[in-house]
Amino acid sequence: MWLLEECRKNRNYLVYGGLEELVNYITNLKYSPAQIQLLQKGGLITNNFAKYLKTFRFSGDVHAMSEGNIFFPEEPIVRITAPLIEASLIETVIFGITVSNVLFMSKASRISSITKNVTLGMQRAHSFESGIKGLRCGHICGLSVNAWPVFVEKHHLPINRNYLVSGQHFFVKSFSDELSAFKKMVQHFPNNAAFMIDTYNIKKGIENAIIVGKGIKKRGGNLQFVTIDSGDLNILSRMTRNKLDLSGLQKVKIIAATNLDEYKLKKLVNKKAPIDVFVVATEYTTVSDSPSLEVIYKIAEIRDGKKIHYTAKLTPGKESFPGRKQVFRKYKNGKFVSDTVGLESEKHGVPQLNMIIHKGKLMKKLPSLKKIQIYFNKQLKSMPRKLLDIDSRQRYRVDVSSKLRELLNKVKKKRKITAQSYILWINCLTGVHNL
């Protein structure tokens, strides 16, 4: 499984994610009696195949990059070695697992390269499950996330007791006036309230936040945050910061949110807008600038006992390489400088694909989110800095080994001979027919 070169259009690099999800799916895959009965009822499977599905378990091998591994188009990221039927049954699901996680990981990495002062939300995600997946990938890339209980529980994360309670627009509008809404909010949440100050008029919103903030300060506390959710964030954040400071509320921080992505973040950071926390949701959860990835899953070889038949797709623009492939990485002064896609038996650098599952069994316990995070940060530090530029297309050297090219040429030659034989056979039949 790998991604086509066209994925480079909006990305200088990609980040592999979803290994945990992939492993959980493959190692737990089985078919329930109800599912098998449904397939039989629809006439989709034979009785013999139904018997096969009743005892189905994946028995093959899986080699994959580690989660958090930086990679590039045309490089294999997952290799499945299994009976053909097993490899076929998992195809559709592993497409979805790989595409969604790589999209989120690569997007989150770009965002974190601009600033770490980001909190990811789930708003406008394509589904709740997709949103949770996005939070996981963002967490790995070092971004703060809205800690949904299901996410915290699933990944055994500590509960953040310093959470913020944001007075959303709907909350403010449920009161007769904005000031009453702010007062009621701090009555229930005196230490962690965040006012959304642009529900009606931002200048009036700032004034109301200052009135309440001063009251909290007199009682020995501090208003924590105010949120700007619309307009020119650079201009409005400067105006807000100035008014808060002049009122003695220097400790109040500013949250900014309005369809932010890495491009908008870079402009605000470069302008040194006085924003303490950026909330990123829609543009992240939908991966708006590059919402699709051309992932390829093709047969590279077929083994029948000791006999090996190498195969490759030869369509121009969609060529694939035959054989069991590996990605090798070369380093210089702690930075990786080039990759080579070669045959598994070759040696061109540090192998990037590791055996994860052998004969259907997980080889070792998968790393925790914390360990994945550490690994990702190590990868990021080893990557050439020029690749972090989100505004220009930078290339990284990926070679194909001479042995792999030789094998491809042999497959092409064999295919050509076979095709010529087939044409000759057709011509012979046509000649007999004409007689």
Beta bridge partners of 362: 357
Of 231, 218, 154, which is closest to residue 190 (Cα–Cα)? 218
Q: Which tokens go with 434?
A: 């004409």
Question: Which residues in the chain are classed under CATH 3.20.140.10?
Answer: 2-89+298-414
**DSSP annotation of 251:** T
Q: Supply the pLDDT for residue 163.
A: 60
Q: Supply the pLDDT for residue 145.
A: 83
Q: What pLDDT, in 10s, does the model give residues 135-162?
A: 999 999 999 887 666 666 676 666 555 5
Q: Supply the pLDDT for residue 7.
A: 57
Q: Supply the pLDDT for residue 431.
A: 45
Q: Supply the pLDDT for residue 79.
A: 96
Q: Give the containing element (helix H, strand E) for 380.
A: helix 369-382
Report H helices in 115-232.
128-140, 149-154, 169-173, 178-188, 202-218
User: Which residues are CB-neighbours of 33 under 8 A, at least 6 positions away?
Assistant: 54
Beta strands in 264-324 (DSSP E): 277-280, 295-296, 301-304, 307-310
Q: How far is CA 118 from CA 74, 112, 173, 193, 404, in A?
A: 31, 8, 27, 18, 43
Class of domain 2-89+298-414: alpha beta
Q: Supply the pLDDT for residue 415.
A: 75
Q: Are 109 and 89 in contact (CB under 8 A)?
A: no
Question: Which residues in the chain are classed under CATH 3.20.20.70?
Answer: 106-285
> pLDDT digit of tens for each residue in the chain (435 aa)?
666 665 567 899 999 999 999 999 999 999 999 999 999 999 999 999 999 999 999 999 999 999 999 999 999 999 999 999 999 999 999 999 999 999 999 999 999 999 999 999 888 899 988 998 999 999 999 998 876 666 666 766 665 555 667 778 888 999 999 999 999 998 888 888 889 999 999 999 999 999 999 999 998 888 999 999 999 999 999 999 999 999 999 999 999 998 999 999 999 999 999 999 999 999 999 999 999 888 889 999 999 888 999 998 888 777 889 999 999 999 999 999 999 999 999 999 999 999 999 999 999 999 999 999 999 999 999 999 999 999 999 999 999 999 999 999 999 988 766 555 545 545 555 444 333
Class of domain 106-285: alpha beta
Q: Give the containing element (helix H, strand E) for 335.
A: strand 335-343
Q: Of how many residues is the chain composed? A: 435
